């Protein structure tokens, strides 16, 4: 039941974020659904494998793939779907905890938390870039 709650909360958050960012109206619902699916993918990978970085990579990969698919279907740029959908996965709490540990002069834990956060952000970036490269160079009709 927690998965359903996470899906709904994530989707509603992205829906309102997209409205706030003045996204095109016809893309908002799709970005919200993509976000919910990506967030659940992140949760499931983390629960099944236990690797947080791999969970974020998988969730972002799904978001990027679905963003590219909807971009082709709706004839819009993929960033319109990917950018708002990936917002709930951004590791902001990791950055906050890193800064808190630095302020508390707990440097060893701050380095560990900061490295983990950077690995997560890097994994997310690689997932988006990988899907974008594949879409541009291997899918017919994509701009090169």
What DSSP character marks residue 90?
Answer: S
Contact 17, 87 (CB under 8 A): yes
pTM for this predicted structure = 0.90
Structure tokens belonging to residue 107? 């440097």
Query: 87-113 pLDDT, tens per residue?
Result: 999 999 999 999 999 999 999 999 999
Residue 106 CA to residue 38 CA, distance in Å, equals: 33
Query: 40-94 pLDDT, tens per residue?
Result: 999 999 999 999 999 999 999 999 999 999 999 999 999 999 999 999 999 999 9
């Amino acid at each position: 039941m927690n998965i359903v709650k996470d899906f709904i909360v994530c989707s509603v958050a992205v829906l309102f974020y997209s409205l706030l960012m003045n996204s095109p109206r016809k893309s908002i619902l799709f970005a919200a659904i993509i976000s919910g699916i990506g967030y659940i993918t992140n949760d499931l990978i983390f629960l099944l494998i236990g690797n947080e970085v791999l969970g974020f990579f998988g969730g972002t990969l799904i978001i990027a793939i679905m963003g590219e698919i909807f971009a082709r279907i709706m004839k819009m740029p993929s960033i319109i779907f990917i950018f708002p959908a990936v917002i709930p996965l951004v590791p902001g709490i990791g950055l906050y905890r890193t800064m808190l540990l630095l302020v508390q002069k707990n440097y060893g834990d701050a380095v560990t938390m900061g490295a983990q956060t950077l690995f997560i952000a890097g994994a997310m970036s690689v997932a988006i870039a990988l899907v974008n490269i594949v879409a541009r160079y291997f899918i017919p009709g994509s701009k090169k």
